[in-house]
Structure 1
Amino acid sequence: MGRRGPYDFATAFAEKLLRDQFKIDKLPVKPIALAKSQGIRVIPMPKDHDGVSGMFIHAHGKSAIAYATHIESKGFQHFSVAHEIGHCYLPGHMDAILPNGATEHFSRSGFVSDDRYELEADHFAAGLLMPARLFTRAMETAGDGLDAIEHLKTRCETSLTATAIRYQQLTDEAVAIIQSREHRIEFCFMSDQFLSLKPGRWPRKGDPIPRRSETHKLNAAPDRILRAERLNEEAHATDWFGAFPDIELYEEVVGLGRYGRSLTVITTVDALDDGNGDSGPEAPWESRFR
Structure 2
Amino acid sequence: MTKTTWNLINSRLGHAERKGEEVAEVAHQNGLPIDPFAIARSEHPLLKFTLGDFHDAFDGQLEYHRKHNRFLIFLNTKYDIGQFPGEHHPRTRFSMGHELAHYYLEPHRAYLIGGGNSHGSESEFKSDELVEREADAFAAGLLMPNWLFSPRVNKTEPSFDLIQQVASEFQTSMLSTAIRTVQLSHFPCGLACVRQSSLAWMFCSTPLIEAGCYPGERGSNLPETALLAWKEHENGNLSNRTKDGVVGDWFRTYDATSLESTYVCEHYFSIPVMNSLLVLLTVDEDDLADEEE
Q: TM-score, normalised by structure 2?
A: 0.78
Q: Partner of 1:100 in structure 2?
A: 115
Deviation at 1:182, TM superposition (A): 1.5
Q: Partner of 2:84 in structure 1?
A: none
2:33–2:171 Cα contact (<8 Å) kept: yes
2:79–2:91 Cα contact (<8 Å) kept: yes
CA distance in 1, matches of 2:73, 2:192: 29
Q: Which moved more, 1:106-115 or 1:10-19?
A: 106-115
Higher helix share: 2
Q: Partner of 1:252 in structure 2?
A: 267
Q: Partner of 1:282 in structure 2?
A: none
Q: Partner of 2:230 in structure 1?
A: 219
What letter matches 1:12 in structure 2? R
CA distance in 1, matches of 2:43, 2:218: 37
Q: Which moved more, 1:165-174 or 1:231-240?
A: 231-240
Relative to structure 1, is the Cα distance of residues 202 and 24 closer, same or farther in structure 2, using a 3 angstrom cutoff? closer
Equivalent residue in structure 1 for 2:20, among 9, 14, 35:
14
Q: Partner of 2:85 in structure 1?
A: none
Q: Partner of 1:32 in structure 2?
A: 37
Q: Check if 1:170 corresponds to 2:176.
A: no
CA distance in 2, matches of 1:91, 1:228: 43
CA distance in 1, matches of 2:75, 2:61: 6
1:7 alignment partner, SS class: helix
Q: Partner of 1:66 in structure 2?
A: 74
Measured on the aligned residues, the alpha-carbon RMSD in Å equals 3.1
1:80-229 alignment runs, 5 A limit: 80-97=95-112, 100=115, 102=117, 104-141=118-155, 144-199=158-213, 202-210=215-223, 212-213=224-225, 215-221=226-232, 223-224=234-235
Deviation at 1:267, TM superposition (A): 0.5
Equivalent residue in structure 1 for 2:243, among 233, 236, 243:
233
2:33–2:143 Cα contact (<8 Å) kept: yes
1:152–1:163 Cα contact (<8 Å) kept: yes
1:145–1:267 Cα contact (<8 Å) kept: no
What letter matches 1:203 in structure 2? G
Deviation at 1:228, TM superposition (A): 8.7
Q: Deviations over 1:244-287 (max 9, x none)?
A: 3554321112122221112111112x4x24998799xxxxxxxx
CA distance in 1, matches of 2:273, 2:174: 13
**Structure 2: gaps of 5 or more residues:** 1-6, 81-87
Deviation at 1:230, TM superposition (A): 7.8
Q: Deviations over 1:206-249 (max 9, x none)?
A: 11222x22x32232245556x89882222344332375355432
CA distance in 2, matches of 1:143, 1:173: 7
What letter matches 1:205 in structure 2? R
CA distance in 2, matches of 1:43, 1:99: 23
CA distance in 2, matches of 1:74, 1:14: 20
Q: Partner of 1:46 in structure 2?
A: 53
**Structure 1: gaps of 5 or more residues:** 280-290
Q: Which moved more, 1:25-34 or 1:89-98?
A: 89-98
